[in-house]
Amino acid sequence: MNPHQPLNKKLLSPPEIQITRELRFEAAHYLHNPAWSRKKNLSIFKKCSGYRLENPKIAHQPHGHSYRLKVTILGKIDAQTGFVMDFQDFKEILNQKIYKCFDHRLINHEVEPFKSHPYLQTTVENLLIVIWNYLESDFQKFNVQLYELTLWETAANSGTYRGNRT
């Protein structure tokens, strides 16, 4: 039996493979609902609200995170290259769409849609949806599907988003 035969058969109908790349960026934000009082913002968002208990004049003070983003795509192996997607192209999309947009930014004031919509909270959950929307069409151009995002705000706190799959 030829040891390459099972591989050759599978390449005729290539399987879908997930590949992953990670990106780190530094960014600041605060959580604040403009419809709420200072007291309610502090009660719900605590120190993340941008208010300080000890100084009632302080508002919208950001705090920063060293974010870690894991991006997984899904696609078929190209028979000629052996790639699902060239990792250099993967890296370039993440640098252009995420790193340049988020790194060393005050998300609430510099990143859309948060900049234009102050009621949209800059939580991990909302950041994941925004990042998904930033990336999805770029990967489609390479005939791969954005499969999963995981975003760590701290070493212990993260969220995962897989699009609108049902």
Model pTM score = 0.89
Measure the CA–CA gap between 117 and 111, rounded to whole angstroms.
Answer: 10
Q: What is the pLDDT of residues 99-134, one digit of tens each?
A: 999 999 999 999 999 999 999 999 999 999 999 999
| Architecture of domain 13-28+64-161 in this structure | 2-Layer Sandwich (3.30)
* Structure tokens that stand for 10 in this block: 């599978």
Measure the CA–CA gap between 139 and 114, rounded to whole angstroms.
Answer: 23
Q: What is the pLDDT of residues 19-37, one digit of tens each?
A: 999 999 999 999 999 999 9
Tell the residue number behind the tokens 């959580």, with chain if given.
Answer: 31
Domain range list for the chain: 13-28+64-161
